[in-house]
A and B are shown apart, each in its own frame.
Chain A
Amino acid sequence: MVELIQFGIDFLSLGGAYALMALGLVIVYGILRLVNFAYGELIMVTGYALYLVNGTALPWLVMAAFAVFIAVLTGIATDYVAFRPVRAKSVTAVLITSFAFSTLLQNAALLFISPRPRNIPLPDIFSRTVEIGGVITPVRNLLTIAMSVIMLALFAWLMRRTVIGIAMRAAATHFTMARMLGVPANLIISSAFAISGLLAGIVALFWLGRIGSVVPGIGLQPLLVAFIATVIGGMRSLQGAVLGGFLLAFIDTSLNYSLPQDLLKFRDAFTFSLVILILLWRPEGLLKGPASGQRT
Chain B
Amino acid sequence: MAIFKKILALTGAAGLALGVSAAGAEEILIGGALSLTGVQAPLDEPGYKGAKVAVKYLNDHGGLLGKKVKFINLDGKSDPVTVGNVAVQLIDMGAKLIVAPCDFDFGGPASREAQKSGIVGISTCASDPLYSSWSLGDKQFTLSMWNTTMGAAAAEFAFNERGWKTAYVVTDQFIAYTKSLSKYFLAHYKALGGKVLLEDTYTNGSNDFSAQIARLKALGKKPDVIFISSYGTDIGVIIRALREIGIDSPVVGGDSYDDPALHKNLGEKLGNDIYFITHTWMGPEAHPDMPKFLKLYKEMYGSAPDTAFVATGWDTIMLMAEAVKAAGTTDGAAVAKALETGKFKLLTGELSYKNAAQGHEPNKAAVLVELKAGKPVFLGWRMPKNPPAP
Instruction: Show the binding face of A for B, using Cβ within 8 Å.
Output: 3, 6-7, 9-10, 14, 107, 110-112, 114-119, 127-129, 136-138, 141, 207, 210-218, 220-221, 252-253, 256-257, 261, 264-265, 267-268
Whether A211 pairs with B237 at a CB distance below 8 angstroms is yes
Known: A115-B42, A253-B208. 15 other contacts (CB 8 A): A6-B214, A10-B208, A110-B41, A111-B10, A112-B3, A114-B306, A116-B307, A211-B237, A212-B237, A213-B265, A215-B42, A216-B41, A221-B207, A257-B214, A265-B203
Q: List residues of chain B with CB within 8 A of the CB of A212.
A: 233, 236-237, 240, 265-266
C-alpha spacing A129/B270, complex, angstroms: 14
Smallest Cβ distance from A238 to chain B, in angstroms? 24
Tell me if B292 is interfacial: C-beta within 8 Å of chain A: no
C-alpha spacing A267/B211, complex, angstroms: 13
Whether A127 pairs with B270 at a CB distance below 8 angstroms is yes
Q: List residues of chain A with CB within 8 A of the CB of B380.
A: none
Whether A256 pairs with B265 at a CB distance below 8 angstroms is no
Whether A127 pairs with B244 at a CB distance below 8 angstroms is yes
Tell me if B62 is interfacial: C-beta within 8 Å of chain A: no
Q: List residues of chain A with CB within 8 A of the CB of B206.
A: 221, 252
* Chain B interface residue count, Cβ-Cβ cutoff 8 angstroms: 46
C-alpha spacing A116/B45, complex, angstroms: 9
A interface majority secondary structure: helix
Closest to B199 in A: A261
Whether A138 pairs with B245 at a CB distance below 8 angstroms is yes
Q: A115 with B45: in contact, given A267-B203, A268-B203 (CB under 8 Å)?
A: yes
Interface hits, B34-90 → A, CB 8 Å: 36-39, 41-42, 45-46
Q: List residues of chain B with CB within 8 A of the CB of A211.
A: 207, 233-234, 236-237, 240, 265
Chain A to chain B contacts (Cβ below 8 Å), 5 pairs: A3-B214, A114-B306, A117-B261, A127-B270, A129-B244
Whether A210 pairs with B265 at a CB distance below 8 angstroms is no
Smallest Cβ distance from B15 to chain A, in angstroms? 18
Q: List residues of chain A with CB within 8 A of the CB of B262.
A: 117, 213
Tell me if B7 is interfacial: C-beta within 8 Å of chain A: yes
C-alpha spacing A256/B173, complex, angstroms: 14
Whether A116 pairs with B203 at a CB distance below 8 angstroms is no
C-alpha spacing A265/B270, complex, angstroms: 28
Whether B42 pairs with A116 at a CB distance below 8 angstroms is yes
Q: List residues of chain B with CB within 8 A of the CB of A3.
A: 214, 218
Q: A10 with B266: in contact, given A115-B42, A220-B205 (CB under 8 Å)?
A: no
Q: List residues of chain B with CB within 8 A of the CB of A118.
A: 261
Tell me if B350 is interfacial: C-beta within 8 Å of chain A: no
Closest to A136 in B: B245
Whether A218 pairs with B240 at a CB distance below 8 angstroms is no
Whether A116 pairs with B261 at a CB distance below 8 angstroms is yes
Tell me if B269 is interfacial: C-beta within 8 Å of chain A: yes
C-alpha spacing A111/B6, complex, angstroms: 7
Binary contact track B244-274/A, C-beta < 8 Å → 1, others 0: 1110000000000001011011100110000
Q: List residues of chain A with CB within 8 A of the CB of B270.
A: 127
Binary contact track B203-221/A, C-beta < 8 Å → 1, others 0: 1011110111010001000
